[in-house]
Amino acid sequence: MQHGFKRVSTKDEVDLEAGQTLYPGLSHGENQLRWGFIRKVYGILAAQILLTTVVSATVVFSAPVNDLLRDNSGVLLFLCFLPFILIWPLHIYHQKHPVNLIILGLFTASLSLTVGVSCANTDGRIVLEALILTSAVVSSLTGYTFWASKKGKDFSFLAPILFTGLMILILTSFIQMFFPLGPTSVAVYGGISALIFCGYIVYDTDNLIKRFTYDDYILASAILYLDILNLFISILRVLRSADN
């Protein structure tokens, strides 16, 4: 999953390398600084996605690692809670270099291991389809958000809608622990999750363009990474339910 914004068609489209004005009213100097910040965030995000790919592939293709994680429920449970534990120091030290990068790396690796377990228990064809769909959706939504911002559109109104949807998803996931959903319900749940995280990609990309401060590059990359990862898991859940 990579973000590519360089386009060569009409003059209204955003060209990342040209440093065009991100949104109306932005001064030339501020615009150049903002583009530098955006490139930095997407560079870190690309490294996170690469790390996730490597770790997940190791889990999928290494039988000893896969067996260790799949057969040891205690280790798997710890890995599920570890990202939530690391969120606090990541927020506290997100401006302290290089501690912020180390914590971000641990945060990414812990999530990558759980993603690897999910992929290992899913048919390879479905994983590839989910990966292709996620890449297409992320690229399209990101490109659209940059274009819309240049036109003066603002997506801050999505915040309460997306937060409410996320709370409903979290509550539903807890209910599933005691009252498992059927295949159809799981597919619907995955579809709604995918829509919500599509909204979050637009909302957080808009924040990246307009609102994140230049010292928030770690937080910005972590947030976008979570949006993309959750979108991938949601699409994977839908495809897996449909296949079953």
In this predicted structure, which of 84-98, 151-165, 179-193, 230-244 has the lowest mean pLDDT? 179-193
Residue partners of 244: CB distance under 8 A and separation at least 6: 183
Highest mean pLDDT among 97-101, 117-121, 142-146, 181-185: 142-146
Q: How does residue 6 score in pLDDT terms, banded at 50, 70 and 90?
A: very low
pLDDT of residue 116: 87
Q: What sign has the CA pseudo-torsion 228, 167, 103, 83?
A: negative
C-beta atoms surrounding 80 within 10 Å: 14
Q: How does residue 10 score in pLDDT terms, banded at 50, 70 and 90?
A: very low
Give the whole-angstrom CA distance, residue 197 versus residue 199: 5
What CA dihedral angle connects 142, 144, 147 and 152, to 10 degrees?
-100
Q: Does the structure show a pLDDT above 90 at 60?
A: no
Q: Does the structure show a pLDDT above 60 at 7?
A: no
N- to C-terminal Cα separation, the chain: 26
> How many Cα atoms sit within 13 Å of 140 on the Cβ side?
8
The pTM of this model reads 0.86
Whether the Cβ atoms of residue 48 and residue 225 lie closer than 8 Å to each other? yes
Q: Which residue has the higher pLDDT, 60 or 199?
A: 199
Q: Which residue has the higher pLDDT, 141 or 116?
A: 141
Q: Does the structure show a pLDDT above 70 at 19?
A: no
pLDDT of residue 244: 67
Q: How does residue 196 score in pLDDT terms, banded at 50, 70 and 90?
A: very high
18: left (phi over 0), alpha (psi -120 to 50) or beta: alpha
What CA dihedral angle connects 126, 127, 132 and 138, to 10 degrees?
120
Q: Does the structure show a pLDDT above 90 at 65?
A: no
CA distances from residue 233 to 6, 224, 230 in whole angstroms, order as listed? 27, 14, 5
Whether the Cβ atoms of residue 195 and residue 161 lie closer than 8 Å to each other? no
Q: How does residue 74 score in pLDDT terms, banded at 50, 70 and 90?
A: confident
Q: Does the structure show a pLDDT above 80 at 212?
A: yes
pLDDT of residue 96: 85
Residues 176, 177, 182, CA angle at the centre, nearest 5°?
A: 40
